[in-house]
Structure 1
Amino acid sequence: MSSFGKVIGAALGLAAVVTAVMLIQRGNVLGKMWAITYEASSTGNQPISITFQETRGRYPGEDRSVKEHTLPAVQAPWSKEVTVFDGKEARVTVTPPPGGTAGCRILLDGKKVLVENTSAPDKPVVCTATP
């Protein structure tokens, strides 16, 4: 093999190692996040008010703070998929229609129920979980 071939081979080997390290580091960052599904319901599927949290950024260098969203009038039933960093709280609050009740659930990976609650009449219900 020529000197040029050896240099190319070494460069390709180094590129493969660097790529593998970057993928492992990126996987560790993504591995610390959880796929969360919020679900909300109300008596008679009447409109509800919802407040929920999610983590902003997913990658290094991005803002990883928790962002809160408020939806003042949503038709029930409602669901939303978000991401939450490991150790951060997942939270959804559901306010029922006048005279009604509301329910909430938090699912991990769209399947495992982490928490499920139902409100008293005219009272908000809160579901929280820390995955």
Structure 2
Amino acid sequence: MKTFKKYYAFPASPEEVYLAMTKAISIQLWTGAEAEFTEEVGAEFSFWDGDIVGKNLELDFGKKIVQQWYFGEDTEPSIVTIKLHADKKGTSLEFVQTNIPEEDFDEFTAGLNEHYFGGLQDFFEEE
């Protein structure tokens, strides 16, 4: 099992980034696909028709999102921790995900960068 950690920058406030990541309608806009998401601890969610599924563990408005993402029945829980920090240009987002199966790591992290965070960055790009 591997851990992935990366920082991303967004030209928006931490509160705006948080809302984009926790409101179903916003998630659908930046993913371009159906999303099932309820901003509630314990609620399960699904993005991209089930490509990413999990459960909310902790939600701290504008500051932190902690989720469990499912990789399969027989793997250890994969915990995603997203911390939002205000900076001069908007928001610095710290993403940490633990227990990514080794055989999925390269493809999964490439998808995170291109689709998950790429879509979110496109959502906030200034015209």
Name the TM-score, length of structure 1 as normaliser: 0.30
Structure with the larger RCO, 1 or 2 (CA within 8 Å, 6+ apart): 2
Structure with more strand by fraction:
1
Could you say which structure has the larger radius of gyration?
1
